Structure 1
Amino acid sequence: MARRKQLYEGKAKILYEGPEPGTVVQYFKDDATAFNNQKKGTITGKGVLNNRISEYLMTRLGEIGVPTHFIRRLNMREQLVKEVEIIPIEVVVRNVAAGSLSKKFAIPEGTPLPRSIIEFYYKNDELGDPMVSEEHITAFNWADPLEIDEIMAMSLRVNDYLSGLFLGVQLRLVDFKLEFGRYYDEEEEEPRIVLADEISPDNCRLWDMATGEKLDKDRFRRDLGGVEEAYQEVARRLGILPESGPRDVQGPSTLQ
Protein backbone atom coordinates (compact mmCIF):
# COMPACT_ATOMS: atom_id res chain seq x y z
CA MET A 1 0.00 0.00 0.00
CA ALA A 2 1.35 3.43 -0.92
CA ARG A 3 2.79 5.63 1.81
CA ARG A 4 0.89 8.87 2.31
CA LYS A 5 1.29 11.92 4.47
CA GLN A 6 -1.24 11.90 7.29
CA LEU A 7 -2.90 15.27 7.75
CA TYR A 8 -5.24 14.58 10.65
CA GLU A 9 -6.65 11.75 12.74
CA GLY A 10 -10.03 12.09 14.39
CA LYS A 11 -12.18 9.73 16.41
CA ALA A 12 -13.67 7.95 13.40
CA LYS A 13 -11.55 8.92 10.40
CA ILE A 14 -8.02 9.63 9.22
CA LEU A 15 -7.28 12.24 6.56
CA TYR A 16 -4.38 11.75 4.17
CA GLU A 17 -2.89 13.99 1.52
CA GLY A 18 -4.74 13.44 -1.74
CA PRO A 19 -3.26 12.39 -5.08
CA GLU A 20 -4.03 15.79 -6.63
CA PRO A 21 -3.78 19.36 -5.29
CA GLY A 22 -6.91 20.37 -3.42
CA THR A 23 -7.92 16.79 -2.60
CA VAL A 24 -7.85 14.69 0.57
CA VAL A 25 -8.25 10.95 1.13
CA GLN A 26 -10.73 10.21 3.93
CA TYR A 27 -10.17 6.83 5.61
CA PHE A 28 -13.00 5.38 7.76
CA LYS A 29 -11.95 3.57 10.94
CA ASP A 30 -13.80 0.97 13.02
CA ASP A 31 -13.12 2.97 16.20
CA ALA A 32 -16.21 4.09 18.08
CA THR A 33 -16.49 6.79 20.72
CA ALA A 34 -19.31 8.31 22.73
CA PHE A 35 -19.88 10.96 25.39
CA ASN A 36 -17.09 13.22 24.09
CA ASN A 37 -14.56 10.39 23.86
CA GLN A 38 -15.24 9.11 27.39
CA LYS A 39 -16.44 5.76 26.06
CA LYS A 40 -14.33 3.97 23.46
CA GLY A 41 -14.65 0.74 21.55
CA THR A 42 -14.56 -0.94 18.16
CA ILE A 43 -17.47 -1.76 15.87
CA THR A 44 -16.23 -4.39 13.44
CA GLY A 45 -16.77 -3.34 9.84
CA LYS A 46 -18.16 0.09 10.78
CA GLY A 47 -15.66 1.95 8.62
CA VAL A 48 -16.54 -0.10 5.55
CA LEU A 49 -20.28 0.43 6.05
CA ASN A 50 -20.03 4.13 6.88
CA ASN A 51 -17.90 4.72 3.79
CA ARG A 52 -20.57 3.14 1.58
CA ILE A 53 -23.52 4.78 3.36
CA SER A 54 -21.93 8.23 3.34
CA GLU A 55 -21.00 7.83 -0.33
CA TYR A 56 -24.60 6.96 -1.17
CA LEU A 57 -26.15 9.82 0.81
CA MET A 58 -23.62 12.45 -0.30
CA THR A 59 -24.15 11.41 -3.92
CA ARG A 60 -27.94 11.64 -3.60
CA LEU A 61 -27.65 15.09 -2.01
CA GLY A 62 -25.31 16.24 -4.76
CA GLU A 63 -27.89 15.17 -7.33
CA ILE A 64 -30.45 17.58 -5.85
CA GLY A 65 -27.98 20.46 -5.84
CA VAL A 66 -26.54 20.34 -2.31
CA PRO A 67 -22.81 21.11 -2.64
CA THR A 68 -20.61 18.57 -0.83
CA HIS A 69 -16.92 17.79 -0.47
CA PHE A 70 -17.41 14.25 -1.83
CA ILE A 71 -15.70 13.36 -5.12
CA ARG A 72 -15.71 9.56 -5.33
CA ARG A 73 -15.17 6.39 -3.33
CA LEU A 74 -11.70 4.89 -3.79
CA ASN A 75 -12.13 1.51 -2.10
CA MET A 76 -14.01 -0.13 0.76
CA ARG A 77 -12.61 2.22 3.42
CA GLU A 78 -11.50 5.34 1.56
CA GLN A 79 -13.06 8.14 -0.40
CA LEU A 80 -11.59 11.11 -2.22
CA VAL A 81 -12.93 14.47 -1.06
CA LYS A 82 -12.25 18.13 -1.76
CA GLU A 83 -9.92 19.88 0.62
CA VAL A 84 -11.99 22.35 2.63
CA GLU A 85 -11.52 24.68 5.56
CA ILE A 86 -13.76 23.12 8.21
CA ILE A 87 -15.98 25.57 10.06
CA PRO A 88 -15.59 24.61 13.75
CA ILE A 89 -19.32 24.22 14.32
CA GLU A 90 -21.40 21.05 14.55
CA VAL A 91 -24.94 21.59 13.29
CA VAL A 92 -27.54 19.33 14.87
CA VAL A 93 -30.99 19.04 13.29
CA ARG A 94 -33.69 17.52 15.49
CA ASN A 95 -37.07 16.17 14.39
CA VAL A 96 -37.93 14.01 17.40
CA ALA A 97 -36.93 14.41 21.06
CA ALA A 98 -34.02 12.11 21.93
CA GLY A 99 -30.64 12.11 23.62
CA SER A 100 -29.49 15.34 25.22
CA LEU A 101 -32.64 17.24 24.20
CA SER A 102 -34.82 14.84 26.18
CA LYS A 103 -32.51 15.10 29.19
CA LYS A 104 -32.19 18.90 29.14
CA PHE A 105 -35.89 19.65 28.89
CA ALA A 106 -37.43 16.50 30.42
CA ILE A 107 -39.21 15.67 27.16
CA PRO A 108 -40.01 11.96 26.80
CA GLU A 109 -37.81 10.37 24.17
CA GLY A 110 -39.73 9.81 20.96
CA THR A 111 -41.90 12.92 21.27
CA PRO A 112 -42.29 14.54 17.82
CA LEU A 113 -41.14 18.15 17.86
CA PRO A 114 -43.54 20.87 16.66
CA ARG A 115 -40.96 21.78 14.02
CA SER A 116 -37.40 20.85 13.19
CA ILE A 117 -34.90 22.47 15.55
CA ILE A 118 -31.37 23.50 14.59
CA GLU A 119 -28.68 23.65 17.27
CA PHE A 120 -25.03 24.76 17.04
CA TYR A 121 -22.14 23.24 18.97
CA TYR A 122 -18.53 24.42 19.08
CA LYS A 123 -16.22 21.62 17.87
CA ASN A 124 -13.86 21.24 20.81
CA ASP A 125 -13.48 17.88 22.57
CA GLU A 126 -11.57 19.38 25.51
CA LEU A 127 -14.51 21.69 26.24
CA GLY A 128 -17.11 18.99 25.65
CA ASP A 129 -18.44 20.50 22.39
CA PRO A 130 -20.49 23.22 24.14
CA MET A 131 -23.74 24.47 22.68
CA VAL A 132 -23.39 27.96 21.22
CA SER A 133 -25.63 30.63 19.71
CA GLU A 134 -25.36 32.56 16.47
CA GLU A 135 -24.00 35.44 18.54
CA HIS A 136 -21.08 33.31 19.71
CA ILE A 137 -20.38 32.15 16.17
CA THR A 138 -20.23 35.65 14.72
CA ALA A 139 -18.50 37.24 17.75
CA PHE A 140 -15.66 34.72 17.64
CA ASN A 141 -15.50 34.91 13.83
CA TRP A 142 -16.16 31.20 13.25
CA ALA A 143 -18.63 32.16 10.52
CA ASP A 144 -20.33 35.34 9.33
CA PRO A 145 -24.11 35.96 9.29
CA LEU A 146 -24.44 35.14 5.58
CA GLU A 147 -22.61 31.85 6.07
CA ILE A 148 -24.84 30.98 9.02
CA ASP A 149 -27.94 31.67 6.92
CA GLU A 150 -26.58 29.45 4.15
CA ILE A 151 -25.69 26.67 6.61
CA MET A 152 -29.17 26.76 8.17
CA ALA A 153 -30.93 26.74 4.81
CA MET A 154 -28.76 23.87 3.58
CA SER A 155 -29.28 21.91 6.82
CA LEU A 156 -33.06 22.15 6.49
CA ARG A 157 -32.88 21.09 2.86
CA VAL A 158 -30.74 18.09 3.79
CA ASN A 159 -33.23 17.26 6.54
CA ASP A 160 -36.21 17.40 4.18
CA TYR A 161 -34.53 15.18 1.61
CA LEU A 162 -33.05 12.62 4.00
CA SER A 163 -36.26 12.38 6.04
CA GLY A 164 -38.11 11.37 2.88
CA LEU A 165 -35.36 9.04 1.70
CA PHE A 166 -35.24 7.18 5.03
CA LEU A 167 -39.02 7.12 5.28
CA GLY A 168 -38.99 5.23 1.99
CA VAL A 169 -37.02 2.42 3.65
CA GLN A 170 -39.12 2.52 6.85
CA LEU A 171 -36.62 4.48 8.95
CA ARG A 172 -37.37 7.60 10.99
CA LEU A 173 -34.67 10.28 10.91
CA VAL A 174 -34.83 11.37 14.55
CA ASP A 175 -31.88 13.77 14.49
CA PHE A 176 -28.45 14.09 12.91
CA LYS A 177 -25.22 16.09 12.95
CA LEU A 178 -23.69 17.93 10.00
CA GLU A 179 -20.38 19.68 9.42
CA PHE A 180 -19.61 22.29 6.80
CA GLY A 181 -16.48 23.71 5.23
CA ARG A 182 -15.31 26.49 2.95
CA TYR A 183 -14.22 25.28 -0.46
CA TYR A 184 -11.83 27.59 -2.28
CA ASP A 185 -12.27 27.29 -6.04
CA GLU A 186 -9.74 29.13 -8.22
CA GLU A 187 -12.54 30.12 -10.59
CA GLU A 188 -14.60 31.82 -7.87
CA GLU A 189 -13.77 34.96 -5.92
CA GLU A 190 -15.42 33.85 -2.70
CA PRO A 191 -15.25 30.42 -1.01
CA ARG A 192 -18.34 28.23 -1.21
CA ILE A 193 -19.99 26.60 1.78
CA VAL A 194 -20.14 22.83 1.21
CA LEU A 195 -21.35 19.88 3.25
CA ALA A 196 -18.35 17.98 4.65
CA ASP A 197 -17.43 15.11 6.99
CA GLU A 198 -19.86 12.16 6.64
CA ILE A 199 -23.50 11.13 6.97
CA SER A 200 -23.91 7.68 8.53
CA PRO A 201 -25.39 5.86 11.54
CA ASP A 202 -22.47 7.37 13.48
CA ASN A 203 -24.06 10.82 13.32
CA CYS A 204 -27.73 10.06 12.57
CA ARG A 205 -30.34 8.64 14.91
CA LEU A 206 -32.38 6.19 12.85
CA TRP A 207 -35.35 4.29 14.28
CA ASP A 208 -37.39 1.56 12.64
CA MET A 209 -40.77 3.07 11.76
CA ALA A 210 -42.75 0.03 12.91
CA THR A 211 -40.91 -1.09 16.04
CA GLY A 212 -38.91 1.96 17.15
CA GLU A 213 -35.75 -0.17 17.19
CA LYS A 214 -32.61 1.95 17.21
CA LEU A 215 -30.37 1.33 14.20
CA ASP A 216 -27.51 3.73 14.94
CA LYS A 217 -24.65 4.46 17.35
CA ASP A 218 -27.05 4.65 20.30
CA ARG A 219 -26.74 0.87 20.38
CA PHE A 220 -23.07 1.41 21.27
CA ARG A 221 -23.69 4.39 23.57
CA ARG A 222 -26.33 2.51 25.60
CA ASP A 223 -24.82 -0.99 25.47
CA LEU A 224 -27.83 -2.36 23.61
CA GLY A 225 -25.81 -4.90 21.63
CA GLY A 226 -26.21 -5.76 17.97
CA VAL A 227 -24.30 -2.66 16.85
CA GLU A 228 -22.72 -4.21 13.76
CA GLU A 229 -26.05 -5.72 12.74
CA ALA A 230 -27.79 -2.35 13.08
CA TYR A 231 -25.31 -0.63 10.73
CA GLN A 232 -25.62 -3.52 8.28
CA GLU A 233 -29.41 -3.25 8.38
CA VAL A 234 -29.28 0.45 7.43
CA ALA A 235 -26.98 -0.37 4.52
CA ARG A 236 -29.21 -3.28 3.50
CA ARG A 237 -32.32 -1.12 3.43
CA LEU A 238 -30.52 1.47 1.32
CA GLY A 239 -29.58 -1.31 -1.09
CA ILE A 240 -25.82 -0.89 -0.76
CA LEU A 241 -24.71 -3.81 1.40
CA PRO A 242 -22.58 -6.23 -0.63
CA GLU A 243 -24.11 -9.70 -0.78
CA SER A 244 -20.96 -11.14 0.75
CA GLY A 245 -21.20 -8.70 3.65
CA PRO A 246 -18.84 -5.83 4.50
CA ARG A 247 -15.35 -6.65 3.28
CA ASP A 248 -12.21 -4.98 4.53
CA VAL A 249 -9.30 -3.06 3.08
CA GLN A 250 -6.02 -2.42 4.86
CA GLY A 251 -5.26 1.25 5.44
CA PRO A 252 -2.22 2.91 3.87
CA SER A 253 1.01 3.15 5.78
CA THR A 254 1.58 6.65 7.06
CA LEU A 255 4.31 9.02 6.00
CA GLN A 256 4.73 11.44 8.89
Structure 2
Amino acid sequence: MMQTAKLYEGKAKILYPTKDPQILLTIYKDDATAFNAQKKGQITGKGAINCTIAAALFQYLEKAGIPTHYIDCPEVNQMRVKAVTIIPLEVVVRNIAAGSLCRQTGLPQGKVLPKPLLEYYLKDDALGDPLLTRDRLSLLNLASSEQLATIEEMTLKINQHLQDFFKLCNIILVDFKLEFGIDATNQIILADEISPDTCRLWDSRETDPQARIMDKDRFRQDLGQIESAYQTVQERVLSAINH
Protein backbone atom coordinates (compact mmCIF):
# COMPACT_ATOMS: atom_id res chain seq x y z
CA MET A 1 0.00 0.00 0.00
CA MET A 2 2.67 2.49 1.03
CA GLN A 3 5.21 3.82 -1.42
CA THR A 4 8.59 5.11 -0.38
CA ALA A 5 8.14 8.68 -1.60
CA LYS A 6 6.03 10.67 0.85
CA LEU A 7 3.75 13.33 -0.54
CA TYR A 8 3.90 15.60 2.49
CA GLU A 9 5.17 15.68 6.06
CA GLY A 10 3.65 18.02 8.59
CA LYS A 11 4.26 18.50 12.30
CA ALA A 12 2.02 15.59 13.33
CA LYS A 13 1.44 13.42 10.25
CA ILE A 14 3.03 12.06 7.07
CA LEU A 15 1.03 11.53 3.87
CA TYR A 16 1.87 8.78 1.41
CA PRO A 17 0.31 7.95 -1.96
CA THR A 18 -1.31 4.56 -2.58
CA LYS A 19 -2.02 2.60 -5.76
CA ASP A 20 -5.34 4.47 -5.96
CA PRO A 21 -4.72 8.17 -6.70
CA GLN A 22 -7.94 9.06 -4.85
CA ILE A 23 -6.73 7.43 -1.61
CA LEU A 24 -3.84 8.53 0.60
CA LEU A 25 -2.25 6.89 3.63
CA THR A 26 -1.71 9.05 6.70
CA ILE A 27 0.87 8.07 9.32
CA TYR A 28 0.27 9.74 12.70
CA LYS A 29 3.56 10.65 14.42
CA ASP A 30 4.51 10.78 18.11
CA ASP A 31 6.17 14.16 17.51
CA ALA A 32 4.79 17.06 19.54
CA THR A 33 5.15 20.72 18.66
CA ALA A 34 3.84 23.97 20.13
CA PHE A 35 4.11 27.71 19.52
CA ASN A 36 4.37 27.25 15.74
CA ALA A 37 6.96 24.47 16.16
CA GLN A 38 9.27 26.59 18.35
CA LYS A 39 8.85 23.96 21.08
CA LYS A 40 9.38 20.34 20.05
CA GLY A 41 9.23 16.99 21.79
CA GLN A 42 7.79 13.49 21.74
CA ILE A 43 4.66 12.10 23.37
CA THR A 44 4.93 8.31 23.60
CA GLY A 45 2.07 6.60 21.78
CA LYS A 46 0.52 9.87 20.65
CA GLY A 47 0.30 8.86 17.00
CA ALA A 48 -1.74 5.74 17.67
CA ILE A 49 -3.93 7.48 20.27
CA ASN A 50 -4.71 10.48 18.05
CA CYS A 51 -5.38 8.24 15.05
CA THR A 52 -7.79 6.11 17.09
CA ILE A 53 -9.61 9.16 18.50
CA ALA A 54 -9.81 10.89 15.12
CA ALA A 55 -11.14 7.74 13.44
CA ALA A 56 -13.86 7.34 16.08
CA LEU A 57 -14.90 11.00 15.82
CA PHE A 58 -14.87 11.00 12.00
CA GLN A 59 -17.16 7.95 12.00
CA TYR A 60 -19.42 9.60 14.59
CA LEU A 61 -19.68 12.76 12.46
CA GLU A 62 -20.29 10.74 9.28
CA LYS A 63 -23.29 9.11 10.96
CA ALA A 64 -24.50 12.63 11.83
CA GLY A 65 -24.36 13.63 8.15
CA ILE A 66 -20.98 15.40 8.08
CA PRO A 67 -18.83 14.28 5.10
CA THR A 68 -15.21 13.54 6.04
CA HIS A 69 -12.07 12.24 4.34
CA TYR A 70 -11.94 9.14 6.59
CA ILE A 71 -11.92 5.68 4.99
CA ASP A 72 -10.41 3.22 7.49
CA CYS A 73 -7.40 2.43 9.69
CA PRO A 74 -5.14 -0.41 8.46
CA GLU A 75 -2.93 0.02 11.58
CA VAL A 76 -3.43 1.80 14.91
CA ASN A 77 -1.32 4.78 13.79
CA GLN A 78 -2.39 4.74 10.12
CA MET A 79 -5.48 6.13 8.44
CA ARG A 80 -6.53 5.79 4.83
CA VAL A 81 -8.22 8.98 3.66
CA LYS A 82 -9.77 10.40 0.52
CA ALA A 83 -7.40 12.60 -1.45
CA VAL A 84 -8.49 16.24 -1.19
CA THR A 85 -7.19 19.67 -2.09
CA ILE A 86 -6.80 21.33 1.30
CA ILE A 87 -8.29 24.81 1.62
CA PRO A 88 -5.42 26.77 3.25
CA LEU A 89 -7.49 27.89 6.23
CA GLU A 90 -7.47 26.80 9.85
CA VAL A 91 -11.03 27.15 11.11
CA VAL A 92 -11.17 27.62 14.88
CA VAL A 93 -14.32 27.38 17.01
CA ARG A 94 -14.27 28.71 20.55
CA ASN A 95 -16.95 27.89 23.12
CA ILE A 96 -14.99 29.04 26.18
CA ALA A 97 -12.31 31.73 26.40
CA ALA A 98 -8.80 30.25 26.57
CA GLY A 99 -5.35 30.57 25.04
CA SER A 100 -4.75 33.30 22.47
CA LEU A 101 -8.29 34.65 22.78
CA CYS A 102 -7.57 35.59 26.39
CA ARG A 103 -4.12 37.00 25.56
CA GLN A 104 -5.44 39.12 22.71
CA THR A 105 -8.72 40.36 24.22
CA GLY A 106 -8.27 40.33 27.99
CA LEU A 107 -11.21 37.98 28.44
CA PRO A 108 -10.79 35.83 31.56
CA GLN A 109 -9.74 32.21 31.11
CA GLY A 110 -12.77 29.94 31.36
CA LYS A 111 -15.42 32.53 30.46
CA VAL A 112 -18.27 30.77 28.64
CA LEU A 113 -18.94 32.66 25.41
CA PRO A 114 -22.53 33.72 24.63
CA LYS A 115 -22.33 31.86 21.32
CA PRO A 116 -19.61 29.90 19.48
CA LEU A 117 -16.90 32.19 18.11
CA LEU A 118 -15.71 31.16 14.65
CA GLU A 119 -12.30 32.37 13.47
CA TYR A 120 -10.23 31.87 10.32
CA TYR A 121 -6.45 31.65 10.31
CA LEU A 122 -4.17 31.49 7.29
CA LYS A 123 -2.57 28.04 7.13
CA ASP A 124 1.02 29.20 6.67
CA ASP A 125 3.69 28.30 9.24
CA ALA A 126 6.17 30.78 7.78
CA LEU A 127 3.76 33.63 8.55
CA GLY A 128 2.76 32.24 11.94
CA ASP A 129 -0.79 31.23 10.88
CA PRO A 130 -2.19 34.77 11.28
CA LEU A 131 -5.81 35.55 12.13
CA LEU A 132 -7.72 36.73 9.06
CA THR A 133 -10.50 39.24 8.65
CA ARG A 134 -13.27 38.62 6.12
CA ASP A 135 -11.78 41.28 3.85
CA ARG A 136 -8.34 39.63 4.01
CA LEU A 137 -9.96 36.30 3.17
CA SER A 138 -11.50 37.93 0.13
CA LEU A 139 -8.26 39.69 -0.80
CA LEU A 140 -6.27 36.44 -0.69
CA ASN A 141 -8.97 34.60 -2.65
CA LEU A 142 -8.57 31.53 -0.43
CA ALA A 143 -12.21 30.47 -0.75
CA SER A 144 -15.32 31.77 -2.45
CA SER A 145 -18.17 33.30 -0.46
CA GLU A 146 -20.22 30.17 -1.23
CA GLN A 147 -17.43 27.91 0.05
CA LEU A 148 -17.06 30.00 3.21
CA ALA A 149 -20.81 29.76 3.82
CA THR A 150 -20.61 25.97 3.47
CA ILE A 151 -17.59 25.80 5.79
CA GLU A 152 -19.29 27.96 8.40
CA GLU A 153 -22.49 25.91 8.31
CA MET A 154 -20.57 22.63 8.57
CA THR A 155 -18.32 23.96 11.34
CA LEU A 156 -21.19 25.06 13.56
CA LYS A 157 -22.92 21.69 13.06
CA ILE A 158 -19.68 19.87 13.89
CA ASN A 159 -19.29 21.99 17.02
CA GLN A 160 -22.77 21.07 18.24
CA HIS A 161 -22.27 17.36 17.51
CA LEU A 162 -18.87 17.31 19.22
CA GLN A 163 -20.08 19.25 22.26
CA ASP A 164 -22.92 16.76 22.70
CA PHE A 165 -20.56 13.82 22.25
CA PHE A 166 -17.84 15.04 24.60
CA LYS A 167 -20.47 15.76 27.24
CA LEU A 168 -21.13 12.00 27.25
CA CYS A 169 -17.40 11.59 27.92
CA ASN A 170 -17.45 14.03 30.87
CA ILE A 171 -15.25 16.30 28.77
CA ILE A 172 -15.80 20.00 28.02
CA LEU A 173 -14.99 21.04 24.45
CA VAL A 174 -13.34 24.43 25.03
CA ASP A 175 -12.18 25.14 21.48
CA PHE A 176 -10.83 23.27 18.46
CA LYS A 177 -9.33 23.62 14.99
CA LEU A 178 -10.70 22.16 11.77
CA GLU A 179 -9.40 21.92 8.23
CA PHE A 180 -11.45 21.30 5.11
CA GLY A 181 -10.63 19.99 1.66
CA ILE A 182 -12.23 19.69 -1.75
CA ASP A 183 -12.65 16.11 -2.97
CA ALA A 184 -12.75 14.65 -6.49
CA THR A 185 -16.45 15.54 -6.83
CA ASN A 186 -15.74 19.19 -5.88
CA GLN A 187 -17.46 18.68 -2.51
CA ILE A 188 -16.13 20.35 0.63
CA ILE A 189 -15.42 17.71 3.27
CA LEU A 190 -13.84 17.64 6.72
CA ALA A 191 -10.14 16.68 6.63
CA ASP A 192 -7.02 16.67 8.85
CA GLU A 193 -7.79 15.28 12.36
CA ILE A 194 -9.80 15.83 15.54
CA SER A 195 -7.75 14.91 18.60
CA PRO A 196 -6.21 16.28 21.81
CA ASP A 197 -3.64 17.91 19.49
CA THR A 198 -6.30 20.02 17.78
CA CYS A 199 -8.84 20.51 20.59
CA ARG A 200 -8.79 22.05 24.05
CA LEU A 201 -10.46 19.49 26.27
CA TRP A 202 -11.19 19.89 29.98
CA ASP A 203 -12.24 17.14 32.38
CA SER A 204 -15.69 18.19 33.60
CA ARG A 205 -15.10 16.20 36.81
CA GLU A 206 -12.08 18.36 37.73
CA THR A 207 -12.19 21.91 39.07
CA ASP A 208 -8.44 22.51 39.34
CA PRO A 209 -7.48 24.62 36.29
CA GLN A 210 -4.35 22.54 35.61
CA ALA A 211 -5.56 19.07 36.57
CA ARG A 212 -8.57 19.35 34.26
CA ILE A 213 -6.45 19.85 31.10
CA MET A 214 -6.58 16.78 28.82
CA ASP A 215 -4.95 18.13 25.64
CA LYS A 216 -1.74 19.51 24.16
CA ASP A 217 -1.77 22.38 26.67
CA ARG A 218 -0.16 19.88 29.06
CA PHE A 219 2.82 19.83 26.67
CA ARG A 220 2.73 23.59 26.00
CA GLN A 221 2.69 24.43 29.72
CA ASP A 222 5.04 21.63 30.90
CA LEU A 223 2.33 20.19 33.14
CA GLY A 224 3.45 16.56 32.80
CA GLN A 225 1.22 13.47 32.62
CA ILE A 226 0.67 14.15 28.91
CA GLU A 227 0.46 10.51 27.85
CA SER A 228 -2.04 9.61 30.57
CA ALA A 229 -4.24 12.58 29.66
CA TYR A 230 -4.32 11.54 25.99
CA GLN A 231 -5.00 7.93 26.99
CA THR A 232 -7.89 9.02 29.21
CA VAL A 233 -9.46 10.94 26.32
CA GLN A 234 -9.09 7.85 24.11
CA GLU A 235 -10.67 5.58 26.73
CA ARG A 236 -13.64 7.88 27.26
CA VAL A 237 -14.18 8.45 23.53
CA LEU A 238 -14.16 4.73 22.76
CA SER A 239 -16.39 4.00 25.75
CA ALA A 240 -18.96 6.58 24.56
CA ILE A 241 -18.78 5.34 20.96
CA ASN A 242 -19.32 1.73 22.03
CA HIS A 243 -21.97 2.49 24.64
- Determine if the TM-score, normalized by the shorter chain, exceeds 0.5: yes
Correspondence for 2:105: 105
| Aligned amino acid, residue 22 of structure 2 | G
Correspondence for 1:161: 161
Instruction: Write out per-residue CA displacement over residues 30-80 of structure 1, whole angstroms, 9 at most, x where no aligned residue.
Output: 000000010000000000000000000001001111011111111111110
1:192 aligns with 2:169: no
RCO (CA 8 Å, sep 6+): is it higher in 1 or 2? 1
Q: Give runs of ≥4 in structure 1 deviating > 6 Å.
A: none
Q: What secondary structure sits across from 1:4 in the alignment?
A: coil
Distance 1:26 1:132 in 2: 28
Distance 1:204 1:2 in 2: 29
Distance 2:23 2:56 in 1: 19
Answer yes or no: is the 8 Å Cα contact 1:18–1:80 preserved in 2: no
Distance 1:200 1:50 in 2: 5
Instruction: Write out per-residue CA displacement over residues 170-226 of structure 1, whole angstroms, 9 at most, x where no aligned residue.
Output: 1000000000011122xxxxx100000000000000001121400000000000000
Correspondence for 1:218: 217
Distance 1:19 1:79 in 2: 15
Q: What secondary structure sits across from 1:149 in the alignment?
A: helix
| Aligned amino acid, residue 141 of structure 1 | N
| Aligned amino acid, residue 222 of structure 1 | Q
How far has the Cα of 1:239 moved from its partner?
2.4
Correspondence for 2:228: 229
Identity of aligned residues (%): 48
Q: What secondary structure sits across from 1:80 in the alignment?
A: strand
Distance 1:174 1:221 in 2: 16
Distance 1:233 1:197 in 2: 22
Residues 2 and 66 of structure 1, relative CA distance in 2, 3 Å threshold = closer
Query: Could you tell which deviates more after superposition, 26-35 or 135-144?
Result: 135-144
Correspondence for 1:238: 237
Residues 2 and 54 of structure 1, relative CA distance in 2, 3 Å threshold = closer
1:206 aligns with 2:204: no
Distance 1:31 1:223 in 2: 15
Correspondence for 1:248: none
The correspondence of residues 64-103 of structure 1 with structure 2, limited to 5 A, is 64-103=64-103
Number of residues paired by the alignment? 236
Q: What secondary structure sits across from 1:173 in the alignment?
A: strand
Correspondence for 1:254: none
The correspondence of residues 110-129 of structure 1 with structure 2, limited to 5 A, is 110-129=110-129
1:145 aligns with 2:149: no
Residues 10 and 2 of structure 1, relative CA distance in 2, 3 Å threshold = closer
Q: What secondary structure sits across from 1:199 in the alignment?
A: coil
Q: What secondary structure sits across from 1:74 in the alignment?
A: strand
Answer yes or no: is the 8 Å Cα contact 2:2–2:16 preserved in 1: no
Q: TM-score, normalised by structure 2?
A: 0.94
Q: Which 5+ residue runs of structure 1 have no aligned equivalent?
A: 186-190, 241-256
Answer yes or no: is the 8 Å Cα contact 2:31–2:42 preserved in 1: yes
Residues 227 and 144 of structure 1, relative CA distance in 2, 3 Å threshold = same
Q: TM-score, normalised by structure 1?
A: 0.90
Query: Could you tell which deviates more after superposition, 128-137 or 82-91?
Result: 128-137
RMSD (Å) for aligned C-alpha atoms = 1.4
How far has the Cα of 1:108 moved from its partner?
1.3
Correspondence for 1:253: none
